[in-house]
Structure 1
Amino acid sequence: MTDAAVIELKQSWGRIAQRLKAELGDDLYTSWFARMEPEECVDGRLAVSVPTRFLRNWIETHYAQKLLKASEAELGHLDNVHVKVRTRGVPQRPQDVAERRIIRDEMQPEPQTRMAQPQPAQALLHQPTGERGSPLDPHQTFHSFITGGSNRLAHAAAQRISESQPGLPVSFNPLFIHSAAGLGKTHLLNAIAWRVRERHPERKVLFITAERFMYHFIGALRSRDTIGFKDFFQSIDVLLIDDFQFLQGKSMTQEFYHTFNSLVDAKRQIVIAADAPPAQLDAIDQRMRSRLMGGLVVDIELPELDLRREILARRLAEVAKRDPQIRVDPDVVEFIANKVQGGGRELEGALNRVIAHQQFSHAPLSVDLAAMVLRDMSANPDQCRVRIDDILKVIGRHYNVARADLLSPRRARSVVVPRQIGMYLAKKLTPRSLPEIGRRFGGRDHSTVLHAVRKIEELMKSDDRLAREVALLVRLIEQQ
């Protein structure tokens, strides 16, 4: 296609996207079409691409005619629409480039295609349960889960379910755990699965994400074997579903509703994890919300200070086992616990950043160093907004250098070093680009800024006094 044709196709695709959004609504459009891109339109054949096989399969199954009609409204008559999975720099295998067509009259899977497709339900019945679901993490057990006031109820409920006896009425069904990302939902689902398998190996336990549930359902539709799909899921004793908020599509949620009802009525246990409570899940209907809220709904809140301390202590002990030479001062651990108010992933990430920075820069592992490294992890986003004017003010005051001198061409050492430190701090503490920093420091070139940043970084590795001085400047700038 010529450049003009490419531009015209992109403009047409923008209008097609608006038609789809108007017909489907913002939520459905965002879920299924937001990442679709036009590739070419040649000889009555429109080619579009999506990033995953799952998206391609879902669109082909549920939105074939809508996509075709919206495209024809802008491009005129089309013989077909070819949906493919795009790759970025990775060559596709021959079976991955087999043509997938959305035909005007009907949508049938091509019998000779060798492309990997969702497995038919009958095939699932002959696999071990673990292979049908999502993989379990062997490190996510009750033993490794650290409890505190913010997660104690969810932990207790999960333990109660994992220790319940087969055949006896369950205390609450379903158990619905919701929280922000990284606070332990998936950990608890894994822990339940491991404990039930350990105590009652005869029970069928399935841990599965909502996306994989949809994948299997699409396989059942393609093979016209929804009965096998129902039989498989309704045979499970303990069903654990993660990332439930990603369950999309009317037919999909209806099928889950029927599966859910049959398991609950048969006294089988269901545990669901999502990032929002049932009342805030717009993709499911009121009947499903009511059933979910009929069990026990618990949330996991952000960890309190004592729990953050315990999480850091546990992670630090694990790091020390791997490398006994790593030592972190208790004051640094206390600073991280107070600074980072997120979940276990954020705390572990903050600890790793501080240790790595110390190892690479060879600077003393102090509270000042931790403050500089974790400056962007403030709980209050407003505290992260450092201005270059603030940096210039603090640098000028600290080194007793006039602002006009910092911005001037002067090359005296008493001016050059503070100026370079200022550029280094501007790069580390603000989102400004190198050219923009250069302009704000007297119209300098971006290469000058890059040289200053690299020089200060090198000096800090061998000059402990300078490293402490820079850390002090960071704290002074944060107080502006």
Structure 2
Amino acid sequence: MRVDGTVASDDEGGRSGGNMDFGPAWARVKRRLRAELGEDVFASWFARLELEGVTAGTARLTVPTRFLKSWIESHYLDRVLGTFKAEAEEIGRIEVGVRGTAAPVRPAAVGAPKAGPASGPLARLHATGTPTPVAAVATPSEHRSADAGGDLSGTPLDARLTFASFVIGRSNALAHAAAERVARHQGEGALYNPLYLHAGVGLGKTHLLHGIGHAAREAGRRVIYLTADRFMYGFVNALKTQSALAYKERLRGIDLLILDDVQFIQGKSIQAEFGHTINALIDAGRQVVVASDRPPTELEALDERVRSRLGGGLVVEITALDEALRVATYVARAITANGRDLEGAVNRLLAHATLTGTAVTMETAESA
């Protein structure tokens, strides 16, 4: 039986339908978890936990990221099951899944080619193989800091996502230029601090963040790239191991902090620490780069002072792909066999446009 109603609110979300409506029971479960665990814990781990459906006594719950799924399964699964059973005795098992929007696939146009010709129309459009993670922290001193208490290893950088593999168009040219300036800056202080990039899913903001990380590390700077979930995990883990002070001091001792998906930062204490960290780094002249799916003014969950600080640097929006990038995306996706096939497809497209006197558009790309 599928439960497919609507979500009433963040703390009373639950989809319901079919012969039995589990929505009210799920709303009571979330209220009990909030009361028993406290506002900070609930906001950090359960605010985005939703009931997708109930089938044969198994309740399927979903969260937006794999990290939240893993954390809930490791620390709270039995508690959630027990609370749900107390509210609905039909529930005998719980499964936690990741909602489809949590791991979007980047378009090939802003993806990362691994190999291909050094020049020509395909220099940035070759298909890539399996991503090769690169450690986000590479210097021995940073490794020692991570081992001393708390988790400061950061999220690995993807070796494919560099400035060289980023396809530039009108929609992302300003963001790319600002990202390169920040990454390669060698003078005193920081540029555009913080640099705040925002865009919808799949438009290349995470690609630029990884590109900044790679370029800054190559220049010898101490860099940490963190997703919002990783930031929350590090802080909560430091609290559990009673190393929060040392963790915060180490985090504030780096040269460049890159934070992705800040719209997911939850919990009053974690949000407060996020604000303190941003302020400390900026005041010390350290560079901060932040990305989100919306501008700072729309991050309603964050304190107004934090939103103001995030908006006090350079805020750049990456807009929807322009025609040229859409064509590049289509060609790169359609031809996946090898680089020469892709080169031939582009040559055919250019020849078709030249001989017929038509512009290169999605329609001509599909017909050529």
- Taking structure 2 as the reference length, the TM-score comes to 0.61
Check 1:230–1:169 CA distance in 2 against 1; reply closer, same or farther (3 A cut). Answer: same
Residues 56-455 of structure 1: matches in 2 within 5 Å?
A: 57=71, 74=87, 125-126=146-147, 132-165=153-186, 168-199=188-219, 201=220, 203-309=221-327, 321=339, 323=341, 327=345, 329-330=348-349, 337-338=361-362, 366=367
Aligned to 1:54: 68
SS in 2 for 1:297: strand
Partners of 2:146 and 2:152 within 8 A in 1: no
Distance (Å, rounded) in 2 between the aligned partners of 1:204 and 1:296 = 22
**1:440-463 Cα deviation digits (max 9, x unpaired):** xxxxxxxxxxxxxxxxxxxxxxxx
Check 1:124–1:57 CA distance in 2 against 1; reply closer, same or farther (3 A cut). Answer: farther
Which amino acid counterpart does residue 136 of structure 1 have in structure 2? L
Distance (Å, rounded) in 1 between the aligned partners of 2:77 and 2:306 = 24
SS in 2 for 1:147: coil
Aligned to 1:384: none
Partners of 2:252 and 2:277 within 8 A in 1: yes
**1:361-396 Cα deviation digits (max 9, x unpaired):** xxxxx45xxxxxxxxxxxxxxxxxxxxxxxxxxxxx
Which amino acid counterpart does residue 145 of structure 1 have in structure 2? F
Distance (Å, rounded) in 2 between the aligned partners of 1:245 and 1:336 = 37
Q: Which runs of 5+ in 1 are unaligned?
A: 1-9, 42-46, 77-81, 89-121, 341-350, 355-365, 368-480
Partners of 1:49 and 1:83 within 8 A in 2: no
Aligned to 2:6: none
Of Structure 1 and Structure 2, which has the larger fraction of its residues in helix? 1
Which amino acid counterpart does residue 33 of structure 1 have in structure 2? L
Partners of 1:50 and 1:56 within 8 A in 2: no
Partners of 2:69 and 2:96 within 8 A in 1: no
Distance (Å, rounded) in 2 between the aligned partners of 1:53 and 1:139 = 22
Identity among equivalent positions (%) equals 35
Deviation of residue 162 (structure 1)? Answer: 1.0
**Are 2:41 and 1:33 equivalent residues in the alignment?**
no
Partners of 1:40 and 1:48 within 8 A in 2: no
Check 1:63–1:301 CA distance in 2 against 1; reply closer, same or farther (3 A cut). Answer: same
The CA RMSD measured in Å over matched residues stands at: 4.7
SS in 2 for 1:287: helix
Partners of 2:266 and 2:301 within 8 A in 1: yes
Distance (Å, rounded) in 2 between the aligned partners of 1:37 and 1:251 = 32
Deviation of residue 291 (structure 1)? Answer: 0.8
Partners of 1:278 and 1:293 within 8 A in 2: yes
Partners of 2:197 and 2:205 within 8 A in 1: yes
Check 1:160–1:62 CA distance in 2 against 1; reply closer, same or farther (3 A cut). Answer: farther
Check 1:58–1:253 CA distance in 2 against 1; reply closer, same or farther (3 A cut). Answer: farther
Deviation of residue 32 (structure 1)? Answer: 3.1
Deviation of residue 21 (structure 1)? Answer: 6.0
Point out the structure with max Rg over C-alpha: 1
Q: Which runs of 5+ in 2 are unaligned?
A: 1-18, 99-142
Check 1:212–1:35 CA distance in 2 against 1; reply closer, same or farther (3 A cut). Answer: farther
Deviation of residue 231 (structure 1)? Answer: 2.3
Deviation of residue 308 (structure 1)? Answer: 3.8
SS in 1 for 2:306: helix
Distance (Å, rounded) in 1 between the aligned partners of 2:304 and 2:97 = 39
Deviation of residue 246 (structure 1)? Answer: 1.7
- Taking structure 1 as the reference length, the TM-score comes to 0.49
Which amino acid counterpart does residue 24 of structure 2 have in structure 1? R
Partners of 1:320 and 1:326 within 8 A in 2: no
Check 1:320–1:71 CA distance in 2 against 1; reply closer, same or farther (3 A cut). Answer: closer
Partners of 2:171 and 2:320 within 8 A in 1: yes
Query: Which of the pair has the greater relative contact order for Cα pairs under 8 Å at 6+ separation?
Result: 2
**1:178-206 Cα deviation digits (max 9, x unpaired):** 0111111011111111111112x2x2111
Distance (Å, rounded) in 2 between the aligned partners of 1:64 and 1:87 = 16
Which amino acid counterpart does residue 269 of structure 1 have in structure 2? Q
Check 1:64–1:230 CA distance in 2 against 1; reply closer, same or farther (3 A cut). Answer: farther
